[in-house]
Amino acid sequence: MAAPIIELDDVSVTFREGGRTVDAVRHVSLNVQPGEIFGIVGFSGAGKSTLVRTVNLLERPTGGRVVIDGQDVTQLRGRQLRELRKSIGFVFQGFNLIGNVTVGANIDFALRAGGVPKERRRARTRELLDLVGLGQKADSYPSSLSGGQQQRVSIARALANEPRILLCDEATSALDVETTEEILALLRRINRELGITIVFITHQLEVAQRLFDRVAVMEHGEVIEQGTTFDVFAEPTHETTKALAERFLGVAVPRQLLPELPAGRLIELRYRGDAAFEPIISTVAQHHAVAVNVLHGTIEYFGTRPVGTLVVLVTATQPGQDGARAVDEALDDLAGRVLGFRELTSRTADGIGLEVDEVLEQEVTA
């Protein structure tokens, strides 16, 4: 692997407010490789924004080191700090455009701050707006643009001084689904064509799935899990990552459907979508006196790699104790052959007793 472009080494950030201290980031170490799209996910309050702000020292770590391109920048001040910030663009959830000047003036402002001479700024503004597909909007005011267009302007502005790194904090969280997809496509293009390394924070897994090469999951200021996006979400090891993945990948079985099912046990299985799954089901059905019925299935792609989710009903082919034991054994066997295994129901005397958890319930009612 190449030398990392961003290296966070045991970074901590503690806020003091009155007599209270908040450990917003605790001993985080991670590396971002040049040219990759690295994501940070986690629930609200996990410390994501604070962590990403340490990269350009908008937040100075109270412990640890920030290394950019091999240089320890943790203690930079003054002109050197300004130079560093020029090489790192920042995009926010709320766009943060200046409202009382035109789109072109917003970009011009950033160019001026970056020391670009007046005679070059006009052409460069034009070039940046063309890059984000807003070549016609230089004279418009931000308030006359849609949310997606405003975010494009803010991306153009972040790129004004030719940064090598782009930090995005919930940059799509205020946008609808189609607009989010457009912004993600733009960011992918910027990453590929300009070779800009992107660090993107989000609580939206559908964004993580589409955009990130690698991902770190944060909770209570710590990174609890990191790896390729596929590995982290196809085979999460930490409970919080499992909960995030479940929210996203979990299959909703309509409650109305359940009473009509014959007796049996309802199981949600997760498996690598590129592995053949049919043989697993038939092997389990052959080796144990059970029938396995597939009720529902989905495939989600992480980059180009598929993760499958199936809901199956496993029923005994013989009555009584023997049948129940065969089902138990079959489920153990099945659980050992898949990435994820979750029981959605338990068997009761009258058929299926519901043990649908909160997540499923939310999805069913949504």
Total of chain residues touching Mg ion, rule CB under 5 A: 1
Please check whether residue 183 is in contact with residue 23, taking contact to mean a CB–CB distance below 8 angstroms.
no
Q: With contacts defined by CB under 6 A, name the span among 43-51, 306-314, 323-331, 343-351 that binds ligand ADP.
A: 43-51
Residue 124 C-alpha from the chain's centroid: 32
Q: With contacts defined by CB under 6 A, name the span among 42-50, 121-129, 250-258, 311-319 that binds ligand ADP.
A: 42-50
**CB nearer to ligand ADP: pick between 173 and 228:** 173
Q: Which uninterrupted H or E stretch holds 322?
A: helix 320-335
Q: With contacts defined by CB under 6 A, name the span among 37-45, 131-139, 157-165, 223-231 that binds ligand ADP.
A: 37-45
| Inter-axis angle of helices 147-158 and 103-113, nearest 10 | 20
Please check whether residue 142 is in contact with residue 177, taking contact to mean a CB–CB distance below 8 angstroms.
no
Binding positions for ligand ADP, 46-65, rule CB under 6 A: 46-50
Q: What is the rounded CA–CA span in Å between residue 133 and residue 144?
A: 16
Task: Report if residue 19 touches ligand ADP, rule: CB under 6 A.
Answer: no
**CB nearer to Mg ion: pick between 49 and 149:** 49
**CB nearer to ligand ADP: pick between 36 and 169:** 169
Q: What is the rounded CA–CA span in Å between residue 317 and residue 327?
A: 9
Q: With contacts defined by CB under 5 A, name the span among 44-52, 241-249, 287-295, 298-306 that binds Mg ion.
A: 44-52
Q: What is the rounded CA–CA span in Å between residue 126 and residue 131?
A: 9
Query: How would you classify the pairing of strands 165-169 and 197-202?
Result: parallel
Smallest separation (angstroms) from ligand ADP to the CB of 37:
19
Smallest separation (angstroms) from ligand ADP to the CB of 160:
25
Smallest separation (angstroms) from Mg ion to the CB of 49:
3
Total of chain residues touching ligand ADP, rule CB under 6 A: 12
Smallest separation (angstroms) from ligand ADP to the CB of 45:
5
* Among ligand ADP, Mg ion, none, residue 114 binds (CB under 5-8 Å by kind): none
| Inter-axis angle of helices 103-113 and 118-131, nearest 10 | 120
**CB nearer to ligand ADP: pick between 63 and 297:** 63
Residue 24, token pair as written in the block:
């917003």
**CB nearer to Mg ion: pick between 49 and 229:** 49
Smallest separation (angstroms) from ligand ADP to the CB of 20:
8
Cα-flanking dihedrals φ and ψ of residue 330, to 5°? -65, -40
- The residues, any chain, with a CB within 8 Å of residue 327's CB and separated by 6 or more, are 264, 265, 288, 290, 314, 315, 316, 347
**CB nearer to ligand ADP: pick between 15 and 301:** 15
DSSP 4: P
Burial class (CB in 10 A: 0-12, 13-18, 19+), 296: middle
Residue 108, token pair as written in the block:
């011009």
Task: Report if residue 240 touches ligand ADP, rule: CB under 6 A.
Answer: no
Owner of token pair 């100075």: 60
Binding positions for ligand ADP, 85-114, rule CB under 6 A: none
Q: Radius of gyration of the chain from Cα atoms?
A: 25
Out of 26, 37, 38, 42, point to the residue binding ligand ADP (CB under 6 A).
42
Task: Report if residue 301 touches ligand ADP, rule: CB under 6 A.
Answer: no
Binding positions for Mg ion, 47-66, rule CB under 5 A: 49
- Of the candidates 343, 339, 340, the one whose C-alpha atom is nearest the C-alpha of residue 328 is 343
Residue 353, token pair as written in the block:
């007793």
- Of the candidates 226, 275, 228, 250, the one whose C-alpha atom is nearest the C-alpha of residue 340 is 250
Task: Report if residue 18 touches ligand ADP, rule: CB under 6 A.
Answer: no
Smallest separation (angstroms) from Mg ion to the CB of 170:
6
**CB nearer to Mg ion: pick between 24 and 107:** 24
**CB nearer to ligand ADP: pick between 50 and 197:** 50
Which residues are near Mg ion by CB under 5 A? 49
Which residues are near ligand ADP by CB under 6 A? 15, 17, 22, 24, 42, 44-50
